[in-house]
Structure 1
Amino acid sequence: MSTTHDSLRERLTALRGPGVSPRPLDARALAALAANPGCRRRALLDAAGVDKGAVAEVLGAPARFGQSRFAFSRGHAFEARVKRDDCAELLRLLGAEGAGGTAAVVPDLSAPGPEGRAARTRLALEEAGERAAAGVWTLLDHPLLALEVAGSVAYLEPDAVAVAPDGRWTVVEIKSFPILDGGADALKVGAAARQAAVYVLALDEVTAGRARPDVLLVCPKDFSNLPTAEWVDVRKQLSVTRRQLARLTRIEEIAAALPEGATFDLRYADDGRTATRPRLELTAAVDAVPAAYAPECLSTCELAFHCRDRSRADGCVESLGRSLRADLGTLTTVEAVLSAATAHSGDPADPAVAALRRAATLRAEALRAAEPVPVAAPRQGARAETEERACR
C-alpha cells in the first residue's frame, strides 16, 4: 500500500480512537452515502469506522431505527435454508440445468483479516472462471469484495456470487421479506436493489466488467418459508451509485480540514481511569465536519436526529426536503424565504421569489375568506321579550 494510504489509515485510526475496532463500511452504508454524496460528515465517520450509533447516544440524539433481533434471526434461518444441501435450491433458482442433481463447487474463502479474505475471493473468482469453461458451476458463499471509495477501501460481503458455465457472474441477494402473488413490497425491493448495485459495482472491479447488471433476489414465497426468486435489473441503480460515489470528496481532504486534536473516540483517560468523553467536546468534533441533512437521512443514518436539530437551529431549508431546497434557488434559509414572501427582500424577477409572494397573497385571501361573519347582538328589550316568551 502506498505511503498516502498508510498516512490516511493512521489518521482515520486516530480519529476513531487507538485500540477501537472499526465498524465495517458495508453496502447498505455505501448505498446511503451514494444517495447523499454531499454529506462529508457521514463520509468521514464511515471511512474511519466510527460507531455513529454510540456517538449519537453521547450527543443525546440516539437513532430510532434498526433491525430487530427477531428479523435478524429469521433472515439467517431463511438464508441457511436456501443454501442447504450444497446449495441445490439456490442452483435451481439460478436456472441450472437439472438443478436437483447439479453439483457446484463452493470454495473455502476463509483467510485472516479483511485483506486476506478479499485476496482469497479474487483467487476464487479466477478459479471459477476456469471451471466455467469446463461446464462447472461455482458458488461463492459470502465472498469479500474490496471497493475504493474516495480514497478509502470498503470491504463488501454479498450473500453469494454465482459463476455459471456460460461465464455469467451473478450477485445473489437473500432477503426475508416475502414475495406475495409474484410481487414484493416496492420500497423493500428498491432498497435491496440499491444495496445489490454496490455489490455489482465491486464485483465489476474484480472481474473487469463481467458482472451481470441484474441480480437474483431470493425471498420467501407468500406466507411460507419456501424460497422463490425474481430477477431485478439494477442498471439504473448501478449508474447512479457509480456517479454519486465518484462525486465524493476524497477522505484525506475532509480529514485535513479538521481542527487539530479533533477526535471521535468516545473514551479518554482521566486520572488513569477510562471515562466517557464529554458531550460538548464530542459535539464540537462532530460539528466541525460539514453535513448535508435531508429528511431521508432519518431512515439511513444514526446521526440524523443530531443533524436535524442543527439544521433546524440554523434555519436551513434543507430540513424541509431536497425538492423544496431545489425549488427555492438562492434562498437557503427559512428567514430569507419568509422575508422574500413578505416583499421585505428578494428580486421580484426571481421565479422563486415571485412564486412565494403569489403563495403569500393566496394564503392571505384564504384566511380572510375563512374569517367568521360577526353577528350583531340583539337589543336589550328584544332579548328580554324573547326570554319571557321562552318561559311561557
Structure 2
Amino acid sequence: MDARSLAALAVNPGCGRRALLDGAGVDKAKVAARLGAPAVAGQSQFAIVRGHAFEARVKGDGGGALLRLAHAELDPTAPAPVADAVRVPVLAPDGGPGARVARTALALREAARARGSWTLLDHPMLVLDVAGTPAFLEPDAVVVHPDGRWSVVEIKSFPMVDGAAEPAKVGAAARQAAVYVLALEEVAEQLAPAPEVGHHVLLVCPKDFSNLPTAAAVDVRKQRSVTRRQLARLTRVEDLARHLPAGATFDVEQPGGALDAAVAAVPAAYAPECLSACELAFHCRSRARAADAVTALGRSLRGELGGLRTVAEVLAAAEGRRGDPADPTVAALRRAAALRTEALAGAGAAAC
C-alpha cells in the first residue's frame, strides 16, 4: 500500500475487496483487465514524466528553493534558510524499506535536536500500521523547522493559477498528505519530548502555466481526522482472507471464471466515487447494476433509503406495492411518486 491507495481506502473503508487486494499487493489493474473491465483511472505516462521533471526542478539547487517556499508559507517568523546552514541528510535510498525507515527516524531525531537550522529530508521512508499490515510510505519531502517542528511537502505537477489550484486535485493531495502526517506522528511519539508535526502541509505546484514552482499551505486537520478514523475501522487482512474459499488465488494467469469467483468471494462496497480511485471500479459497478443494488446510485442516496436494498424494492415502495406507509422513507417515496405523476400530467395537459 502507498499513501495514494490508503487515502482512497480511507474514503471507502467498508470495501473489504480493496483492503484485501491492496494488502496482498495484487495488481488490481491486471485483475480488472482479465475480468473484462479494464481500468481507465490513473495517471498517464506523460503526467508521470512531467511530475518527475517538475520535482527535479524544485529540488535542483539542493532544496534551497523548496525551503524558501516552506519559510514563506509555513514559518515566515523563523530565520530564513541560509544555503550553507541547510542540512540535507543522506537517507540510504538504495537500502530496503526497513533500513530506510530506520535511517529516516534517525535523521528526524537528529534534526529535532539540532535546533536553529532548517533540515530537508528528500524522499524519506515512513511506515504506518494499517489493519495489521505495515504500509511503507514515501513523501516527496519532509521539512524540519528551526524550532524542531516537522512539516510534510507534497509536490504536484498540476498548475496553481493566480494562487489557486483545481479544488478536486487539491483535495486529493490533502488526503494523501494526511496519511504522511499520521505516519510522521507515529515517529514523533517515540521521542521525548515529542516534536510537533505540522497540520499544514506545503503543496508545491507549477506557477500559472510555467514550470516555476509556487506553493501554498494546506490545512489537513480534517483529512487527517477522517483518515485516522476510517483506517481504524478497517478489517484486518487476515480476517478478510479467512472467508476466501480454499485454494482461492488472484493470479491473473488462471482461468477467468476462477479469478471472477475469487474476487466475488470478497465483499465490496461499490460507490460512484470509486470510479476515480480504484482500478476495479468498472467491474464492481457492473456487478452492482446486475444485482440491481442501490449502492450504484451513491452512498448518500443509499443512506436515505433505509432497508431498501434494490432499485426494484424502491420502485415497489414508491408505487405502494410494498412497505409500511408509516415508514418515513416509504412515505417520502410515495409522496415523490405522486408529485412526479402530477407534474407529468400537468406537462401533458400544457402540451395539448
Could you say what secondary structure the match of 2:251 adopts? coil
> Aligned equivalents of 2:84 and 2:203: distance in 1?
21
- Among 46, 50, 62, the residue aligned to 2:38: 62
2:305 counterpart of 1:325 = no
User: What CA deviation, in whole Å up to 9, does each residue of 1:222-273 have, x standing for no partner?
Assistant: 121111111000000000000000011111111111111111122xxxxxxx
Q: Which moved more, 1:310-319 or 1:290-299?
A: 310-319
- Contact kept, 8 Å, 2:111 with 2:148, in 1: the verdict is no
Distance 2:83 2:290 in 1: 64
Give the % identical residues.
67
Q: Give the match's secondary structure for 1:231.
A: strand
Secondary structure of the 1:85 match is coil
Contact 2:14 2:269 in 1 (8 A): yes
1:198 paired with 2:179, answer yes
Q: CA deviation at 1:137?
A: 1.9
SS at match of 2:40: coil
CA–CA distance in 2 between the matches of 1:332 and 1:117?
48
| Structure 2 CA distance for partners of 1:374 and 1:226, relative to 1, 3 Å | closer
Look up the match of 1:84: 60
Q: 1:123-151: CA deviations, max 9, x gaps?
A: 2111212222xx23221100110000001
Segments of 5+ residues of structure 2 without an aligned counterpart are: 72-77
8 A Cα contact 1:293 1:318, kept in partner: yes
The change in CA–CA distance for 1:374 and 1:248 in structure 2 (over 3 A counts) is closer
CA shift at 1:116, angstroms? 1.7
Q: 1:109 maps to what in 2?
A: 91
CA distance in 1, matches of 2:208, 2:79: 25
Question: 1:364 and 1:92, CA in 2 relative to 1: closer, same or farther beyond 3 A?
Answer: same
Contact 1:43 1:251 in 2 (8 A): yes
- Residue identity matched to 2:237: I
| In 2: Cα distance, 1:373 partner to 1:219 partner | 54
Which residues in structure 2 correspond to 1:348-363 (within 5 Å)? 348-363=325-340
Residue 373 (structure 1) shift: 8.3
- State the structure with more CA Rg: 1
Equivalent pair of 1:86/1:103 in contact (CA under 8 Å) = no
Q: Which residue of 2 aligns with 1:371?
A: 348
Aligned to 1:97: 79
1:158 is aligned to 2:158: no
Partner SS, residue 61 of structure 1: coil
Work out which structure has the larger RCO, using CA pairs closer than 8 Å and 6 or more positions apart in sequence. 2
1:112 Cα deviation (Å)? 2.6
Deviations 1:71-127 (A, max 9, x none): 111111111111112111011111163446353221121253212211221121112
* Aligned length in residues: 340
Is structure 2 residue 218 aligned with structure 1 residue 232? yes
Give the aligned partner of residue 51 of structure 1: 27
1:295 matched to 2:272? The reply is: yes
Q: Superposition pairs for residues 102-251 of structure 1, below 5 Å?
A: 102-110=84-92, 111-132=94-115, 135-208=116-189, 210-251=196-237
SS at match of 2:62: helix
- TM-score, structure 2 normalization: 0.93
CA distance in 2, matches of 1:226, 1:265: 44
Decide whether the 8 Å contact of 1:88 with 1:102 is kept in 2. no
Q: Could you tell me how far 1:362 is from its partner in structure 2?
A: 1.5
Q: Does the CA-based 8 Å contact 2:112-2:149 persist in structure 1?
A: no
Q: CA RMSD in A?
A: 1.5
2-structure distance, mates of 1:374, 1:242: 56
Aligned to 1:257: 243
Give the C-alpha shift of residue 216 in structure 1: 0.6
Q: Normalising to structure 1: TM-score of the pair?
A: 0.84
**Alignment gaps of 5+ in structure 1:** 1-24, 267-275, 376-392
Aligned to 2:17: 41
Residues of 2 paired with 1:220 and 1:370: CA distance?
A: 52
Deviations 1:286-318 (A, max 9, x none): 000000000000000000001001111111101
